[in-house]
Structure 1
Amino acid sequence: MDHAPSASLSIDDRLVVAATLDRIFYDDPDHFRREDALTVRRLIPHTRSSWLRLGFRAISQGPSVKGEAAGVGDVRMEGDKRVVEGNVGESTVWRCGQYKITNHDGDLEVWQVMSDEFAQDPKGARLEFGPTGEPERLTFFQPRDIELRIPFTSFAVGVRLGGWNYWKQAAPSAG
């Protein structure tokens, strides 16, 4: 869920951020330029985030009907699916080109616009900075799904735990 930004970000800044992220992600498979990471961090306003961030998605399926149709055979009609989503403790999200970016806790979290933690194939990355503010590495979102079935019922509870795996590191400083 996107929150309205508290400060403004010009269209020119948004274009620079989108082009810079494209370079970070796609130019070199093993490294990204430190200057690019610092540019994105400088342009995306820092926002406070709570110590706990949780997102949820609940899916419920309506009743299904099955029977027999003349000339067709067995027929099954599924009930309507209802999806409810929400989150707690989210930071301000900035839209820049095909990306949604959050600057919180010293790191930048980047998602493709049509993707999030709950997507079938989530496309998220995190630019991580060290204690001195220097860019260190880029990680990608790798979910871990757990499904708990309730015995003797048709109910299941799914839990998606987020994890970040290494992708590439900042290029060595020139000098």
Structure 2
Amino acid sequence: MDVVIEKDTEYELTATMQQQVRQLTLIIEPTGSTTDRIKRIEGYLSGVAGTLDFSAGIHATPANVELQFAKIASGANAGKYAATVRLLGVAGEQQKLNAIIHFTGGNPKAMSLGSDLTTELAAFNADKTKPLTLGGKVVETPTGADFSATITDWTPGNGEDGEDGSAGMETNH
């Protein structure tokens, strides 16, 4: 708001704070015979807003943000992998998860993981006070080399009471 302040006059003004950062948690549930050999999952999310024009509410400058997935040790999501980031919002035409699943001893070889999250994050810039959790399920991890995977059908959930969501994951070789 614009306010005119006169000299030697006291004013009481109240400014309402608006949260401009929203928390996003991605949960991946691997299944299959090689899940016990997963060493780490790392990657990035593209199409993240690098700038925000507060006055106009415009999210711009699409950028990538690093994701480090950690294995969840307890609770309803034990055994799954989660990455949590706080973002200004999303920008650009596409938001995509690009990750690599690394296995102990290099067997099987590292597997590429890609997923288009554009639809699931379309309304991400609204209601920033509410964290968003998306869950995706790996139907089968590879037992051989040179596999890649794509998560489809991400499901929103809260990630705490078993409603973490799940999605189908197709493996391609």
Q: Which TM-score band (shorter chain)?
A: under 0.3
Please report the TM-score for the alignment, with normalisation by the length of structure 2.
Answer: 0.26
More helix by share: 1
Please report the TM-score for the alignment, with normalisation by the length of structure 1.
Answer: 0.26
Bigger relative contact order (CA 8 A; separation at least 6): 2
